Every structure is written in C-alpha cells, then in structure tokens.
Amino acid sequence: MLDVGDPAPDFDLDGTDGQTAGAYRLSAAASRAPVLVAFYTADFQPRCRAYLEALRDTDWGALTDAIAVFGVAPGTVEDHREFAADLGLPFPLLVDHPGVDGQFGVQRPDGSTRRAAFLVDRRCRVAFTWADSEPDRGTGTPDIDPVRSAVARL
C-alpha cells in the first residue's frame, strides 16, 4: 500500500456520476482540489454499499473548502451507473480495468480490491491513507472517521 508522501499513480479511468459517462484523470482533478480516491471491492456488495453511503453522507463542505471524491472498483460503467444512481452518490464511480488498485497497493492476492482511501494533494502526492480492517463479509459501516479527520486537517 502506498505511504504518505509517495507520488500517487496518475490514472485515466472511465466512470459515471450516475447519469452520464466520461473519462476521469487523477492529475487533472488534483490540480483543482485535493482528491479522495476511495477504492471498494464491488458494486452492490453490502459492506461496500455502507462504505459509499458513509462517504455520500459526509458533509465535505464543512470539512474543507474543496475536495473531489472518486469511487474506484472493478466492473463496468453500466453497473457503476446503476449503483451510483441507486445510492444517489454526489461523486463518480470509476472502472478500475487497468489495475490501478495494484498500483496503489490495495489489490489482494486473489485479485479483489481492498476497501481503502487515499487523500491525494494538489501535487499528486499521497497525504493520507486508510484501509478497512474488516473482511468483505458483514454489513456494518466501515469506520471512516480517520478519513474525515484527515480531510479536515487540509
């Protein structure tokens, strides 16, 4: 897993905001505001649903002046579109088809993606990392308070 201070691997990924599809580049977003790159295992998986709902329900504006949030997981744009629309997400879900999870160090040996978050600053360096310690089973909400605290310290 990447460490604080490491350069964040730049990526160009297809994604959707729940309505429209498009391409998203990490460095372009980071040049405008810090970016929270939130990896998750799969669409419609209960614990991933709870994780993305927690991110959705966070009042980012109360924590910082500006931030972009990207959800990243394997899948298809159409599945991500359906999942984002179902959850009413205010941020896009991106398709990790080229293995960005591996570049960030959150790909498991079985090829699945670990729930994790990276706060990337405007220089495209990792400012904070978080990984969910719980397995994919269960429906509880992961504790993302450390993520919120890191954003508030920006």
Here the tokens at position 149 are: 């605290």
Residue with tokens 């372009």: 28
C-alpha closest to that of 3 among 95, 135, 128, 149: 128
User: Helices in the chain by DSSP H: which ranges?
Assistant: 26-30, 46-57, 60-63, 77-87, 100-104, 145-152
Over residues 34-82, the pLDDT tens digits come to: 999 999 999 999 999 999 999 999 999 999 999 999 999 999 999 999 9
pLDDT at 67: 97
pLDDT of residue 139: 62
**Which pLDDT tens digit goes with each residue over 84-97?**
999 999 999 999 98
Helix (H, G, I), strand (E, B) or coil at 53: helix
Instruction: Kindly list the domain boundaries of the chain, sorted by start residue.
Output: 12-152
pLDDT of residue 136: 61
**Mean pLDDT over the full length of the chain:** 94
| Whole-number pLDDT of residue 128 | 98
pTM, rounded to two decimals: 0.95
**Nearest of 142, 80, 104, 98 to residue 1 by alpha carbon:** 104
Q: Which of the listed CATH numbers 3.90.79.10, 3.40.30.10, 3.40.50.620, 3.30.720.210 matches domain 12-152?
A: 3.40.30.10
